[in-house]
Amino acid sequence: MKNSAILLISCPDRKGEVAAIADFVYRHNGNILHADEHGDEESGLFLMRVEFDPKDFDIPLEDFGKYFSPVAEAFAMTWRLAHSSHRPRMIIFVSKFDHCLVDLLYRHQSGELACEIPLIISNHPDNQAAADFYKIAYAVVPFTKENKQAAEKQIHSLIDEHKPDFMVLARYMQILSNEFVNRYPQRIINMRGVKLIGATSHYVTEILDDGPIIEQDVVRVSHRDTVEDLVRKGRDLEKVVLSRAVRSHVENRVLVYGNKTVVF
């Protein structure tokens, strides 16, 4: 497993920001491996992702903020430092359809998704066998209009117990309350349909299917396709789009600003 540090930055777009960041890493004996940037003209924001090798870095990474703060303050930067070796904890929510769940579990087992999955939460028992096969705890929390508040309270308890870094709605066919969503900002990833045969993965907000987009794709259809063909193509695409979004999140490639994202 590679060991790199990842610096994610957003700030007002001004001259000298790239030079200041590169100079800071260089002066402290870091080696930049990748650097990606984006300037958003509409908002006047500058966003950047810098991945560097900390092997010879002369600052302990836990003290990074103390030394980087003068640069950050000079350019009014919002920033965070991540570590590629860190495996974030992901809880998966699912209902009856298993295609996204099983795809994520397989990609996790094969090493494609560098995260930990401590728990699967469902409102149905249907996918218990898949959880058992991958040796992951499975909690069934029935969800109805009448018990919604109590169900979400139970889910909160499970989240507090298992302490995930983020959550994925893998075809979880329940609408979570605004209170629930606002409790975990930019920590819930979901799927939504598009007007073409396709799929979009996004962060969940209190406005249904309106959160910042992480990944999306479409697939060709023809007059020969039956309804069953369209359903199959949609499910195939949902798996790919959701896994791409999760991988981008796990690898710290997503910067959110307003209701937009930059995926490096």
Task: Name the percent of the chain lying above pLDDT 70.
Answer: 98
* Domain match, 137 and 174 both: yes
In this prediction the pTM is 0.86
How high is the pLDDT of residue 145?
A: 83
**217 given a catalytic annotation:** no
Domain hosting residue 161, numbered range: 89-263
- How far does CA 175 lie from the centroid of its chain? 19
Q: Phi and psi dihedrals of 217, rounded to 5?
A: -160, 165
CA angle 160, 200, 194 (to 5 degrees): 130
Q: Which two tokens stand for residue 118?
A: 């401590």
Residue of 58, 132, 209, 229 with catalytic role: 209
Q: Which of 82, 124, 125, 132 is nearest to 102 (CA)?
A: 132
Q: What is the dihedral of CA 82, 84, 86, 88, to 10 degrees?
A: 80
Residue 114, domain CATH: 3.40.50.170
pLDDT at 1 over 70: no
* Domain match, 210 and 252 both: yes
Tell me which amino acid residue 107 is.
R
Which residue is listed with tokens 């010879």?
56
Distance of alpha carbon 92 from alpha carbon 103, whole angstroms:
12
pLDDT at 260 over 80: yes
Q: Note the pLDDT tens digit of each residue in 182-195.
A: 999 999 999 886 65
Q: Note the pLDDT tens digit of each residue in 130-170.
A: 999 999 999 999 988 889 999 999 999 999 999 999 999 99
The pLDDT confidence band at residue 103, using thresholds 50, 70 and 90, is very high
How high is the pLDDT of residue 194?
A: 62
Average pLDDT, the chain: 94
How high is the pLDDT of residue 193?
A: 67
Residue 70, domain CATH: 3.30.70.260
Helix (H, G, I), strand (E, B) or coil at 3: coil
Distance of alpha carbon 103 from alpha carbon 105, whole angstroms:
5
Q: Note the pLDDT tens digit of each residue in 212-255.
A: 999 999 988 887 888 898 889 989 999 999 999 999 999 999 99
CA angle 109, 136, 253 (to 5 degrees): 50
* Domain match, 254 and 132 both: yes
Choosing from 21, 48, 83, the residue where a domain stops is 83
Q: Which two tokens stand for residue 247?
A: 């991988």
